[in-house]
Amino acid sequence: MNNQAGQLSREPGHASVADWREFADAGLAGPLKAALELFSEQGYHGSSVREIANRAGLSVPGLYHYYPSKQALLQALLDAAMGDLLERSAVAETAAGADPVARFDAVVELLLRFHMYRRELAFVASTEIRSLDPDYRVGYIARRDQQQRTLDRIVQDGKDSGDFTTEYPLDASRAITTMCVAVSTWYRPSGALGPDELVRRYLSVARQTVGYHG
C-alpha cells in the first residue's frame, strides 16, 4: 500500500493529550475531513457520497475502498470526537489532583476548549446522533454518558466535601454540560470573545451553578 493509501485508510486519530489544553490538527484522513466539512455545512442527509468524494479528490469507488458507506464516515468521525474528548477529560482530571474544585475546573475548561477547538467535530457529533445506525447509536450514547458521569461524580464529590452547595448536583452537572456543548453552535475564532476569556466567564457561571463560593 502506498503512503497516500495508508493515510486514507488509517483510523482517525488525535494529537497527544499530554497537555490537554493544546489542540493541534485532529489528524483526520482526507475523506473524513471532507465528510466533516459537508456534514457541518449541509447535514448528514443533505450530503451525498459523490460530494464527499469530490471534495476529498477521490472517485466514488476510491472513497468506498476505504469507507464502505456514508454511515461509516459518520461513525468514524464520532469515534474520533468521543475518543479525543474522553482521553483529554481523563488527563485533565488526573492532572488536577484530588481536590474536587480543581477537578471540576479542569474538566469544565476541557469541555469548553474542546467545543471551541473541535467545534465542527463536536457539532456533528451532537446533532447527527439521530442519523446513526441503531446498533452503533447505543454504543456511542454509552460513551457520551460516560463523559457525563465523570462530571456528575466530580460535582457530587464537591457536594460531599462541602465545596459545592447546590441542592441538585446531578441537575447542575447536566446544565453545565449542556452549556459547554452549545459553544460549538456559535463560537467562531474571529469573534469578539477569545478562548481564554470565554473559559473565564463560563467557568464563573459553572461555579455559580454548583454553588461554589470560594
**Sign of the CA dihedral running 185, 88, 20, 105:** positive
| Cell representation of residue 200 | 473565564
> Is there a contact between 39 and 128 (Cβ–Cβ < 8 Å)?
yes
pLDDT at 118 over 50: yes
Q: What pLDDT is stored for residue 15 in this prediction?
A: 47
Does residue 14 sit within a domain? Answer: no
Angle at which helices 169-186 and 100-117 pack, to 10 degrees?
A: 20
pLDDT at 46 over 90: yes
Residues 104 and 163 in one domain: yes
Residue at 104: amino acid letter: F
Residues 58 and 134 in one domain: no
Does residue 94 sit within a domain? Answer: yes
| Cell representation of residue 113 | 476548549
Q: Tell me: the pLDDT tens digits for 75-84? A: 999 999 999 9
Rounded CA separation 43/27 (Å): 22
State mean pLDDT over 37-55: 96
User: Which range marks the domain in which residue 188 is found?
Assistant: 70-214
Please tell me the total number of residues recorded for the chain in this structure: 214
Residues 100 and 186 in one domain: yes
Residues 58 and 91 in one domain: no
pTM comes to 0.89
pLDDT at 115 over 80: yes
Please state the domain count of the chain: 2
Task: Quote the mean pLDDT of the chain.
Answer: 91
Q: How many CB atoms are located within 10 Å of the residue 177 CB?
A: 20
- Phi, psi for residue 133 in degrees, rounded to 5: -60, 140
Q: What pLDDT is stored for residue 16 in this prediction?
A: 55
Residue at 111: amino acid letter: L
Residues 108 and 183 in one domain: yes
Q: What DSSP character marks residue 191?
A: S
Final residue of a structural domain among 68, 84, 100: 68
> Is there a contact between 2 and 59 (Cβ–Cβ < 8 Å)?
no
State mean pLDDT over 117-141: 95
Name the CA radius of gyration of the chain, rounded. 19
Residues 44 and 120 in one domain: no
Q: What pLDDT is stored for residue 17 in this prediction?
A: 63
Residues 85 and 125 in one domain: yes
Angle at which helices 119-127 and 100-117 pack, to 10 degrees?
A: 90
Does residue 163 sit within a domain? Answer: yes
Grade residue 8 by pLDDT with cuts at 50, 70 and 90: very low
Does residue 17 sit within a domain? Answer: no
Grade residue 6 by pLDDT with cuts at 50, 70 and 90: very low
pLDDT at 200 over 80: yes
